[in-house]
Amino acid sequence: MATSTKKPSAASAALTTPTDLGNDARKQVAEGLTRLLADVFSLFVKTKNFHWHVSGPHFRDYHLLLDDQAQFVYDMIDPIAERARKLGGTTLRSVGQISTLKRLADNDADFVPPIDMLNELRADNESLVKYMRELHELCDDKEDVATASLIENWIDQTEERVWFLFEATRS
């Protein structure tokens, strides 16, 4: 494994933890996890936004579905951040950093029809699966089996959310 000869800053040296992964692998995977974390935070907030603002004849079903989905997304947050730290990387420090790193679009509309909410969340979850597959490929390339294993479970959970959202929008 290739290692960098560049000396880390005092701050990054203080936060580095032991791992047999090379510095390049450690840095790239931790950065990928931090970007994924920004997307997960973004998806969590959007899902809760839609949960709070859903209205219409299927209110109860959609309200409960979105609350369940938000909880599954929320449950990804700490393990993603802690995995980045286990690798000796750093992770998100602010809402501003989330805004800079996230790839999923916000939705600040005053009203979104429920079917549009579900379709938008389905598309966002599909994008999240894509981002996780890309990070998984990097993990495989860098021989980081622990992070790859975590991502496999998150992909499965996210695909389930896609499935539920798809089924809820069928006519």
CATH number at residue 50: 1.20.1260.10
In a domain, 12, yes or no: no
In a domain, 106, yes or no: yes
In a domain, 54, yes or no: yes
How much is the CA Rg of the chain, to the nearest whole Å? 18
Question: 57 lies in which domain range?
Answer: 19-168
- Provide the pLDDT for residue 4: 47
Task: Name the pTM for this structure.
Answer: 0.90
Reading phi first (left if > 0) and then psi (alpha if -120 to 50, else beta), residue 127 is in alpha
- Tens of pLDDT, residue by residue over 137-166, are 999 999 999 999 999 999 999 999 999 999
Find where tokens 């000869």 sit: 5
Total number of domains constituting the chain: 1
For residue 104, pLDDT beyond 60: yes
> Mapped to the 3 state alphabet, what secondary structure does 94-151 carry?
CHHHHHHHCCCCCCCCCCCCHHHHHHHHHHHHHHHHHHHHHHHHHHHHCCCHHHHHHH
Residue 20: band (very low, low, confident or very high) from pLDDT cuts 50, 70, 90: confident
